């Protein structure tokens, strides 16, 4: 392929130029799906980028493009970054998967890292976070704290990532409180604060006194605050402005350690294509401060769960667990394998309602 050749030559020429000038900083590109001001997903990735800048100072140069539509636009942005001499490019949305694969093929000397996907190559790693580990901890708090025994859950789209979170939260809420029920609303949007606010209100009106959200805005927090006796958890970022109540804890995406580690690997020439699925142990998933609204014993139990997950002693999906239809999924003591978790498309036993198809 002629273009590939041209691109490769260009990239190589640049690569040579880079080596020639030894002091040239390592260039790292970030492709974002949303605006850095979204206060959630993209915001946290950008915090990771800033952490990289802070860590390496002059030795690194970071560039980013925000609000990149998935598809050909993403491919062009990545290509442009590679042409401009990027050594490492992070693409931070599932929808960037195929474009990243395409561009990685054209630039064998540039390293690529794709978030939440499953396609890898010699110069293309994938990384993601085990948010479900955090949900287990929060699920325990939810089950222990609810008085109405109704927990509301706002999901974005019915995809494995979200379903995994619901299952994990539910299993641990049930363990703490066998009477707990989940009410689930699918917002069918990644981002629509007004709709999230409505969804939270509806759940509260229908008796929920704990609200989980798998959407990024603080709208549900505000709705809970207005309603009074409802607790919530921060999502993606800490949402600390709603402390100590309704927000009693949070799951934080912390990409900084991973980004710093990978940039260092490129600088030292030790970068290899890997599949990273980090959790609480690696610090990619953080549990935000558990506020004093949570009783001390519940807080202690939650932290114990967190520690046992971090140490690898406990897996949030440990059998016996049945699927919703009553069939066995995990036998006594068996833990879920990553393959099943990645593609999870079923509810566990006890959850009501159907996953929309």
CB closer to other proteins, 129 vs 219: 219
327 vs 67: CA distance, rounded Å = 43
- The whole-angstrom separation of Cα 165 and Cα 163 is 5
Total binding residues for other proteins by CB under 8 A?
Answer: 80
What are the backbone angles phi and psi of residue 335, rounded to the nearest 5°? -115, 155
Q: What angle do CA 286, 292, 294 make, to 5 degrees?
A: 75
Q: Tell me which residues in 312-331 interact with other proteins (CB under 8 A).
A: none
Residues of span 144-163 touching other proteins by CB under 8 A: 152, 157-160
Residue 205 found at the interface with other proteins (CB under 8 A): yes
Binding mask 97-136 for other proteins (x = CB under 8 A): -x---x---------------x------------------
Query: Residue 314 CB, nearest distance to other proteins (Å)?
Result: 25
Q: Residues 6-35 vs other proteins: string with x where CB under 8 A?
A: xx--x------------------x-----x
Which residues touch 297 (CB under 8 Å, ≥6 apart)? none
Q: Minimum CB separation from other proteins for residue 161, in Å?
A: 9
Contacts for 92 with CB less than 8 Å, ≥ 6 apart: 30, 31, 32, 33, 41, 42, 45, 115
Other beta carbons within 10 Å of 327: 9
Least CB distance to other proteins at residue 332 (A)? 26
State the CB neighbour count (10 A cutoff) for residue 70.
16
C-alpha span between 13 and 139 (Å, rounded):
53
Interaction mask 223-242, other proteins, x per CB under 8 A = --------------x---xx
Stretch that binds other proteins, among 52-60, 139-147, 171-179, 337-345 (CB under 8 A): 337-345
Pick the binder of other proteins from 191, 283, 293, 334 (CB under 8 A). Answer: 191
Instruction: Pull the structure tokens for residue 279.
Output: 């959790």
The least CB distance from residue 295 to other proteins, in Å, is 26
Strands (E) located in the chain: 26-31, 60-65, 88-91, 111-115, 124-129, 150-155, 181-186, 210-213, 231-236, 247-253, 275-278, 285-288, 321-322, 328-330
Strand, coil or helix: 216: coil
Residue 80 interacting with other proteins (CB under 8 A)? yes
Residue 210 makes contact with other proteins by CB under 8 A: no
Cβ closest to other proteins, residue 98 vs residue 301: 98
Beta carbon of residue 230, minimum distance to other proteins (angstroms, whole number): 14
**Which tokens hold the place of 101?**
């694969």
Closest approach, Cβ 268 to other proteins, in A, equals: 25
Could you tell me how far CA 294 lies from the centroid of its own chain? 25
Site for other proteins in 47-76 (CB under 8 A): 63-73, 75-76
């Amino acid at each position: 392929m002629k273009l590939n050749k041209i691109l490769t030559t260009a990239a190589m020429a640049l690569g040579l130029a880079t080596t020639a000038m030894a002091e040239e900083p390592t260039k790292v590109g970030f492709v974002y799906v949303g605006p850095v001001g979204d206060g959630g997903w993209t915001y946290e990735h950008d915090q990771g980028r800033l952490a990289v800048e802070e860590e390496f100072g002059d030795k690194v140069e970071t560039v980013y493009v925000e609000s990149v539509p998935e598809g050909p636009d993403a491919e062009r942005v990545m290509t442009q970054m590679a042409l401009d001499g990027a050594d490492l490019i992070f693409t931070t949305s599932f929808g960037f998967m195929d474009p990243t694969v395409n561009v990685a093929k054209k630039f064998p000397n540039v390293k690529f890292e794709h978030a939440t996907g499953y396609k890898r190559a010699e110069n293309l790693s994938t990384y993601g976070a085990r948010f479900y580990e955090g949900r287990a901890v929060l699920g325990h708090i939810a089950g222990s704290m609810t008085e109405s025994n109704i927990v509301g859950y706002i999901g974005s789209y019915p995809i494995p990532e979200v379903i995994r979170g619901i299952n994990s939260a539910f299993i641990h809420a049930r363990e703490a409180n066998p009477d707990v029920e989940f009410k689930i609303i699918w917002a069918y949007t990644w981002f629509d604060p007004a709709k999230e606010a409505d969804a939270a209100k509806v759940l509260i009106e229908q008796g929920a006194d704990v609200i989980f959200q798998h959407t990024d805005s603080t709208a549900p927090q505000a709705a809970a605050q207005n309603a009074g006796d409802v607790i919530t958890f921060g999502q993606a970022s800490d949402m600390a402005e709603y402390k100590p109540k309704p927000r009693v804890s949070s799951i934080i995406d912390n990409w900084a350690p991973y980004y710093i580690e990978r940039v260092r690997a490129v600088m030292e020439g030790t970068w290899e294509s890997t599949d990273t699925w980090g959790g609480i142990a690696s610090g990619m998933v953080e549990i935000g401060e558990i506020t004093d609204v949570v009783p001390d014993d519940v807080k202690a139990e939650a932290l114990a769960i967190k520690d046992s997950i971090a140490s690898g002693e406990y897996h949030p999906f440990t059998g016996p667990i049945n699927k919703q239809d009553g069939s066995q999924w995990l036998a006594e003591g068996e833990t879920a394998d990553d393959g099943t978790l990645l593609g999870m498309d079923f509810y566990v036993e006890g959850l009501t309602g159907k996953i929309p198809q």
